[in-house]
Amino acid sequence: MTYSLEEVYETVRMTLQENFDIRTVTLGINLKDCVDSNIRTFRDNIYNRITPYAKRLVSAADEIEKKYGIPIINKRISVTPIGIISEGLDQGDILAIAQTLDDAARDAEIDFIGGYGSLVQKGMTVGDKKLISSLPEALSSTKRVCSFVNLASSQAGMNMDAILLMGHTIKEISKRTERGVGCARLVVFANAPEDNPFMAGAFHGIGEPDFSLNVGISGPGVIRSVVEKNPDCDITSLSEIIKKTAFKITRAGELIGKELASSLGVPFGIVDLSLASTTAVGDSVARIIEAMGIERIGAHGSTAALALLVDAVKKGGAMASDHVGGLSGTFIPVTEDKAMAEAVRDGALSLEKLEAMTAVCSVGLDMFLVPGSTKAETISAIIADELSIGVVNNKTTGVRIIPVPGAKPGDWVDFGGLLGGGPVMRLSGFSSSPFITRGGRFPNTITNLRN
């Protein structure tokens, strides 16, 4: 695919004026052949596998960033799910692996390393339970390690025992980390993709090659700009405008990703088409929805507007890339998107409306705050509600929930940096504990009996 001079100028303009960037380049690394019966050797194998490639990723990304003038915000590593390669280890050794991952990321100057997690959508092994039990200590004692747990899938249904366990685990992580911020490095999924470049849910799937370079693009500011310039067009025309813009953004991401993969000598994986908000002014998905004609995100019509946006971004991006994957939706995090946080503060956006919007956004309930006094069973119920949307609709959904110790509904909590800040959301005062504590496995839906 060739690139015209006009496209190059357009990309430069988007970068300088509309906050366009490559949100992340994530190198997936297979660790299955690092396993050894001696834990010291096992840890050395992991460190020596990750660190050289991670250092090369950082230096190569810096060179390409200078060459094209397009910011590459995060350099990340994803690894084989640790729950798979740590089966049979005791919890202390599993925690030692978490520290090894953190050390490797630190020494290579990698922003985050993902994959400390398990796939338990149908049931938990003894090793899975040990890893999940280790999460509070692992996330409170490391700085760069990110975790995922896949609790459900359309084919398997939902593991309600694991969902109940995760409610208690999230509460414990919150207690062990300042303002509960450790929970920002944990996401629980239904239908977790194996090639997701975005943290906290990234991992290198067992169907992947030894190495794979995945790119997560962004550009809410670019999309918002073109929407604002077309206030009077009809819905069909608006969709076409967004599609064409998404095509340009994705072309740039594909170029960067393929060149970086070539530089590293590894296969190029996928482009993730997700729009990802940041705390920067103008870099907001909520502002796109408002530019479409919704006074405040959360008002009636917000779900339809978001559905239009996601569909147009996917259609435009899919035409621009050889391989699309990952989440490829639209992130609607509360704390990381200033307009989202303000909408919650002003009463325009409730948790119930946010959940409804996740039915079309392909990502889920992301970076939202709840009172620290919230019961573990209530957290599990929120997770079950969201993951059921993914199971029934055969799509990826996730939850990244932060119970803030000592906080009450309406309190504003600032984390700073990319995590931003926002208000603590109000939850229903009615209990669902008798339902959640039943345990068992939520059956897959009849529509998934396709064989």
pLDDT at 322: 85
Please report, in tens digits, the pLDDT of each residue of the chain (451 residues total): 554 545 544 555 555 444 567 888 999 999 999 999 999 999 999 999 999 999 999 999 999 988 888 888 889 999 999 999 999 899 999 999 999 999 999 999 999 999 999 999 999 999 999 999 999 999 999 999 999 999 999 999 999 999 999 999 999 999 999 999 999 999 999 999 999 999 999 999 999 999 999 998 877 888 898 999 999 999 999 999 999 888 888 888 888 899 999 999 999 999 988 888 876 766 789 999 999 999 999 999 999 999 999 999 999 988 888 888 888 888 899 999 999 999 999 999 999 999 999 999 878 999 999 999 999 999 999 999 999 999 999 999 999 999 999 999 999 999 988 889 999 999 999 999 999 999 999 988 887 777 7
Q: Which residue has the tokens 């693009």?
A: 217
| Sequence-separated (6 or more) residues with CB below 8 Å from residue 189 | 148, 149, 150, 151, 152, 201, 364, 387, 390, 396, 397, 398
Q: Of 99, 83, 81, 206, whose CA–CA distance to 144 is shortest?
A: 99
pLDDT at 2: 52
Would you say 294 and 329 are in contact if contact means Cβ atoms under 8 Å apart?
no
The whole-angstrom separation of Cα 361 and Cα 221 is: 18
The whole-angstrom separation of Cα 423 and Cα 212 is: 38
Helix (H, G, I), strand (E, B) or coil at 86: coil
The whole-angstrom separation of Cα 128 and Cα 317 is: 36
Beta bridge partners of 187: 148
Scanning 18-159, the segments in alpha helix (DSSP H) are 39-68, 82-85, 91-107, 126-141
Would you say 80 and 206 are in contact if contact means Cβ atoms under 8 Å apart?
yes
The whole-angstrom separation of Cα 282 and Cα 120 is: 39
Q: Look up residue 100 and give its two tokens.
A: 């090894």
Pairing of strands 145-153, 157-159: antiparallel
Residue type, 176: R
Q: Of 182, 156, 111, whose CA–CA distance to 391 is shortest?
A: 156
Residue 295's Cβ-side half-sphere holds a number of Cα atoms within 13 Å equal to 5
